[in-house]
Structure 1
Amino acid sequence: MIIRDRFTLGVLAGIVATVPALIVNTLSVALGFAKWYSHQIGGSIYLHPGLTDSP
């Protein structure tokens, strides 16, 4: 099966690349290697301190 549509191929490539990154990120926080998730670090660029670590 060959996907010739470049948009569909881009969507699938993005999903395939994101899933392992999320798994590694979740495991690193669960095992104590990291204190923050990557989306919290990215959000802290735009939000005030304290808004990214509380629900």
Structure 2
Amino acid sequence: MADSRTTSLTRDEINVAVQEFLMSRRGLDVNIYDVYEGADDEFDVVFYCRNEENAK
């Protein structure tokens, strides 16, 4: 049974959240390829970095 304190996120909401986090914390401009939902409300996010100087 789902925890009543959590809210399901859409794929688009996850994409935006990951992009905003990486930009704000690391200055990385990323493009999200895909999001895979795993066990226990965990997600794997596949992305690439658009600004080359930060991708090294």
Which one has a larger percent strand, Structure 1 or Structure 2?
2
Larger relative CO (CA 8 A, sep 6+): 1 or 2?
2
- What is the TM-score normalised by the length of structure 1? 0.34
- What is the TM-score normalised by the length of structure 2? 0.33
Which one has a larger percent helix, Structure 1 or Structure 2?
1
